[in-house]
Amino acid sequence: GSLSGSSADALDGVPLVAGIATLLRQFHREHTLRYLSLLDQYVRAQLHAAFSQAPRPVDNPPEVATMLLLLESFCDYAEVSAAELPAYLRTVMPSLRVR
């Protein structure tokens, strides 16, 4: 998955996600879940900052959209189930809302 809106600047996030998942797999599962809780805080802070401004944006900020794509890939590579995700992430991740 590309990490940039522009194809000229596109970066592939899969190697990054696979590397982080592989690194965290070396440790107790608790570390992976803590990493997810930190990313949850980041997403919430970015959304709060974006939607507390006037005029309110129509879509998620690009940082949030990118992070949600990374999280989706990370959950696949790290074998994280939806039940293990922080509650807020379950509500904002598009792939989990469809299920």
Q: Over the chain, what is the mean pLDDT?
A: 86
- Please report the pLDDT score of residue 57 as a whole number: 80
Provide DSSP, the chain: -BSSSSGGG--B-HHHHHHHHHHHHTS-HHHHHHHHHHHHHHHHHHHHHHHTSSSPPSS--HHHHHHHHHHHHHHHHTT--GGGS-HHHHHH-HHHHH-
What pTM, to 2 d.p., does this model score?
A: 0.79
State mean pLDDT over 17-23. Answer: 96
Q: Which two tokens stand for residue 62?
A: 């690009």
- Please report the pLDDT score of residue 77 as a whole number: 94
Domain boundaries defined on the chain: 7-98
State mean pLDDT over 39-58. Answer: 90
